[in-house]
Amino acid sequence: MQVVNAPLDANVAKLNMDLADPIFLYDDDGVTEIFRGYITEREASSVTGTVTYVAYDILFYTQKSNATYNFSGETAETITQMVCRDMEIPTGTLAATGLSQKLIVQNVSIYNIIQQAYDQASEKNGKEYIIRARQGALCVDEVGDLACDIYLTEDSNITSSKYKETLNNMVNKVKIYDGEGNPSGTVQNDDDLRYGVFQQVYTKEEGKDATTTAKSMFKGVEKSFSLECLNYNGAITGAGAIVVDSATGLSGSVWIEADTHTWQNGVATMSLTLQLKDVKPITERKPTPKAAAPVVTEKAPTESTFKVGDIVQFKGGNHYTSSDGTVAGGKPSTGSAKITKIEKNAPHPYHLVTENWDTSHVWGWVDAGTFD
C-alpha cells in the first residue's frame, strides 16, 4: 500500500502508522471485513513522494516463530490450540478431526507444526485442510466448506484463461519397507500406470497404518486452470467455485488453489488458479496373497442409510453451490461420486464430488433420488 508522503505540505495529512499496527480493509458496505493485517515494513521515498507499507495477516507470526514439541494422543485441533496459546496467537474455528496422533517436531515453525498435524489427520480420513486468517484469528477449514456465491463465466466476469496439465508430480506406485529395509508390500494406482511408473518408497512409522499412509502419497495428473476475472471478494483459496469457460473447456465445479486480488486506479480484478484433483481407483498388492473374502450380497441402501463417505452412482442432472441454492450450477453427466456432506432438511441435501473427472463433473449439492 502506498500513501502520499509530503511532510512540508500542510494540506496533506500525515499518517502515523507504526510497525505492528493493525490495518483493516472493508468491503463497499463499510462493515464486511475483507482483510486484517499488521504492518511489517514501511519505506519512505523522497523521489516518489510516497510511503510504502507492507502488511501481513496473523499467519505471518506463525511463520516467523519456531518451536519444539512432543505430542502424544492429541488431535490436530488440540495441537493447534496448544501451540497458538503458547505463542499468544488467537484462534477461531478449527476443523474437528477427532483423530489422536503422535507428533514430534524440533525447531519447526508454528505454521508447519499445525500443517503437519492436519496432514497426519488427512492421511487417515482423506480430507484436505487449509489454514486461514479470519478477522485476526487463525482458523483451519476443510477444503470445500466455502463456496463462491457467483458463477465465473466467459460472458460475465472472465477476461482471460489458461489451461495446463502435467505429470511432473505424479506418484502411481509406492513400495513399503520396514525399519530394517526389508520390503513389506506395494500399493499402486493401476489407472495411472498407463503414463509409466512413477515410484516412491515409504518406510513404516510407529503409530501409522503403512498401507493408508502409502496410498496417501499417490498423485495423479495435475490439471490447473488460471483465470483473470473481475474481482469477487469471496473467491479465496480453498473455496469451491463453478466455472464455465469454452476457451479451456472448463465447465463445472472446481477448487480455488490460489488467489490474488488487486485494487488499482479504481478497478478491482483477481487472478485465480483452479485445481482439478482426480480421485482414481486404488489396487493393493501384498507379498503373500491371501484368499479372497467371501462375497456378501447386501440390500440396496435407502435414502436414510446413505452416509458421508459412501460411493454412489450419480444419475445426472442439476447440482448447486449450496444446499439451499435456487439456481443450478450446471447439469453434469452420470458417473461415480462420493458423498462428502449431508444436510438432511435442505432442498438439496447431499454434496457429491466426482470420483473421475473424465466421466462426470458433478461437484456440488444435489437432490435426494438423483443417485443410487
CB 37 within 8 A of CB 57: yes
For residue 346, the one-letter residue type is A
Q: Are strands 350-354 and 50-56 parallel, antiparallel or unpaired?
A: unpaired
Residues counted in the chain: 372
- pLDDT for residue 304: 62
- pLDDT for residue 358: 64
pLDDT at position 293 over 50: no
pLDDT at position 332 over 90: no
Residues 283, 183: Cα–Cα separation, whole Å: 18
Residue 238 DSSP SS3? coil
Q: For the segment 317-327, what is each residue's pLDDT rounded down to a tens digit?
A: 888 767 777 76
Q: For the segment 251-280, what is each residue's pLDDT rounded down to a tens digit?
A: 777 888 889 999 888 899 999 998 765 333
Per the prediction, the chain carries an average pLDDT of 84
Please report, to the nearest 10 degrees, the dihedral formed by the alpha carbons of residues 68, 69, 70, 76 taken in order.
-140
Q: For the segment 216-231, what is each residue's pLDDT rounded down to a tens digit?
A: 899 998 887 889 999 9
Mean pLDDT computed over 136-155 = 82
Confidence bin at 96 (pLDDT 50/70/90) = very high
The larger pLDDT score, comparing residue 240 to residue 297, is at 240
Query: What is the value of pTM for the model shown?
Result: 0.59
- Closest by alpha carbon to 257, among 229, 231, 237, 233? 237
CB 271 within 8 A of CB 226: yes
Q: For the segment 191-217, what is each residue's pLDDT rounded down to a tens digit?
A: 999 999 999 999 998 888 899 899 989
Q: Are strands 335-342 and 350-354 parallel, antiparallel or unpaired?
A: antiparallel
pLDDT at position 8 over 50: yes
pLDDT above 70: percentage of residues in the chain: 89
Cβ-based neighbours of 355, under 8 Å, separated by 6 or more: 279, 281, 311, 335, 336, 337, 338
Rg, C-alpha atoms of the chain: 24
Phi, psi of 171 (to 5 degrees): -135, 115
- Closest by alpha carbon to 338, among 370, 362, 369? 362
- Closest by alpha carbon to 67, among 121, 111, 132? 111
Confidence bin at 43 (pLDDT 50/70/90) = confident
What is the dihedral sign for C-alpha 117, 120, 122, 124? Answer: negative
The larger pLDDT score, comparing residue 234 to residue 83, is at 83
The larger pLDDT score, comparing residue 205 to residue 300, is at 205
- pLDDT for residue 295: 40
Q: For the segment 97-130, what is each residue's pLDDT rounded down to a tens digit?
A: 999 999 999 999 999 999 999 999 998 898 889 9
